Amino acid sequence: SAPEKLEFLPRLNLHMAASVLSNPDIRFSWDTHFGGSFDLVDYVTLNADAMRGPFLAGDPELDPRRVITLLDGVRTPQRGREPGAVRREFGIQADAPVVGAVARLARQKRLDRLVHALAVLPPDVHCIVTGEGEEREPLQALAMELGVADRFPLPGFRRDVGDVLDALDVFV
């Protein structure tokens, strides 16, 4: 069996993300190649507490003490400016709805969908997208074409991410 063939290897930690657990192809691969056994694994780390129950239910023989939640957290960016500064910078009213993103401007991010959504939202809604990338010019052109360029500032790379996030009502 696989565990016997590999018992000379050092033990390891297996990190499972929600996308792994919900993907039957990956789960099938684990079951097929390793017999679904966690004998070779000292600890299993999950990236959300909500995954613990379903994960343990999948292998009733797995010791729950070997399953640890290790959040894939991102440090919350700090604000450096007074609240509302970024909105004022772009001429956006304090009570106007603002959606936006902080992202690499790449095709795979599909920020064009955000521009299309902005075009059908009420005219008081604004969208701030910060970041740089090859999609900058196409996004600006699309915003012009759809008539929302005045509500779609693309300020480029920003170090004040906390202040930008503070300006958003909805982060996309």
Please list, residue by residue across 72-85, b when 16 or more beta carbons sit within 10 angstroms of its beta carbon and e when fewer do: eeeeeeebeeeeee
Q: What percent of the chain has pLDDT over 70?
A: 74
The model's pTM: 0.60
Banded pLDDT at 34 (limits 50, 70, 90): very low
Q: What is the pLDDT of residue 120?
A: 93
For the record, the structure tokens of 47 come out as 């990236």
Condensed to tens digits (0 to 9), the pLDDT of residues 50-109 reads 878 877 887 777 788 888 887 766 667 889 999 999 999 999 999 999 999 999 999 989
Considering only CA atoms, which of 53, 40, 45 is closest in space to residue 17? 45
Q: What is the pLDDT of residue 32?
A: 43
Condensed to tens digits (0 to 9), the pLDDT of residues 101-154 reads 999 999 989 999 999 999 999 999 999 999 999 999 999 999 999 999 999 999
SS3 for the chain is CHHHHCCCCCCEEEEECHHHHCCHHHHHHHHHHHCCCCCCEEEEEECCHHHHHHHHHHCCCCCHHHEEECCCCCCCCCCCCCCCHHHHHCCCCCCCCEEEEECCCCHHHCHHHHHHHHHHCCCCCEEEEECCCCCHHHHHHHHHHCCCHHHCCCCECCCCHHHHHHHCCEEC
